Amino acid sequence: MTARLLLLCLALASTPALAGDAIQVSLEGRKALGQGTPALEVHILEPIIGFEVKLKRSDGKAVEFKGGGKPGTTDTFELEQPEGHFHYDGELTVRFKGADPGTMPLSFDTELLGPLKLTVTKEDLDLAAQTLRFKLSRPAAHAKVEVLMDTGRHALDGDVKFQGEPAGTPLEVKWAKLDGKVMKISLRAYDTSDFYTSVDLFPWQLDIPHEEVNFPTGSAEIPTAERAKLDHSLEQLEQSVARYERITAVRLYILGHTDTVGGTDANRELSLQRARSIAAYFRKHGARLPIFYEGFGEQAPHKVTPDETAEPANRRAEYIISVEDPVLTNAPFTPQWRKL
């Protein structure tokens, strides 16, 4: 998060003792929470005995401080305040040697900004309509957006302007329709104070077609006669990885499934071990990308059947290439991905 400091010279009142000639006041009025507080700087230009500042904050709190020094001295006074916007009114009094005190009125605003929050839900991303919606916790100024396709082309790479829409207003960015799938969306959204927050989305995933391995009943050991299927799948996998790794780093996810013959818990464990066996085979035979696996047993069938039904279509695995954990439409529980 960055901030552009607001530096304002305050109007100086003409006074009998020429306070405006002896003192100059500047304001650092906007700060981010955790990076200090707004502050007044009093610059001494001419010889003085000292000065005193009395202020009242818009929430009723009184603020006072004193200072002094030789010409060229600058006193900095931090304005300790809660998060938010405040107004200050008051007066600075300058004491001179052999002359009456001079005064200047002070009136200014400050802001202590907490973290800028960006809200995006999975429902806010509509890939078919080439649209992303989001909300900011403060008024919106603009957003830098990059939409990268899996072809390596950009559907959008630029700045989207807003009109200071209030906090919580639904905001929208759109991009051109291009061949391929959206692989990555990078969004950096700025508020009207030039603070920003960002998020990267990776909606892309790819299913690798393959021929299923036939395991012996109740076993996770890969039969020798079935290894040619995995060799062919690995070849397809490596071709896909070589194509998409040029754009961004990818991972392989292996999902194991069984039919309904046997107990639910036993089938889940069996599917987990079979998924691990496939993952280990790929690793042993040259796969270098990160590999994760999970077993879903009989709980996410391709074809719904009664219990204790031997259904070949349900004895299967899925090979998914993705940048992050894949989105599963029919997952019966939150996967606990194991890394090989």
Q: Where are the domains of the chain?
A: 7-113, 118-201, 205-339
d(CA 48, CA 67): 10
Residue with tokens 């939409």: 147
Which CATH homologous superfamily contains domain 205-339?
OmpA-like domain (3.30.1330.60)
Both tokens of residue 204? 């892309």
Q: What is the pLDDT of residues 54-74, one digit of tens each?
A: 999 999 999 999 999 999 999
232 φ, ψ (degrees, to nearest 5)? -70, -40
Would you say 214 and 226 are in contact if contact means Cβ atoms under 8 Å apart?
Answer: yes
Contact 296, 316 (CB under 8 A): no
Confidence of residue 19 (pLDDT cuts 50, 70, 90): low
Instruction: Compute the average pLDDT of residues 174-201.
Output: 95
Going by pLDDT thresholds of 50, 70 and 90, the confidence category of residue 17 is very low
DSSP letter for 179, please. S
Measured distance CA(124)–CA(185) in Å, rounded: 13
The pLDDT tens digits of the residues spanning 264-283 come to 999 999 999 999 999 999 99
Residue-level pLDDT at 3 = 32
| 84-96: strand order across its sheet | 30-32, 99-113, 84-96, 50-57, 62-67
Distance (Å, whole) CA 42 – CA 84: 24
Tally of CB atoms within 10 A around 53 = 21
Q: Are 154 and 235 within 8 A, CB to CB?
A: no
Give the tens place of pLDDT for each residue, 106-152: 999 999 988 899 999 989 999 999 999 999 999 999 999 999 999 99
Q: How far does Cα 242 stand from its chain's mean position?
A: 28
Topology of domain 118-201 in CATH is Immunoglobulin-like (2.60.40)
**What span, in angstroms and rounded, lies between the C-alpha atoms of 194 and 101?**
41
Distance CA 275, CA 258 (A): 11
The answer to whether the 118-201 and 205-339 domains have the same CATH topology is no
CATH of span 7-113: 2.60.40
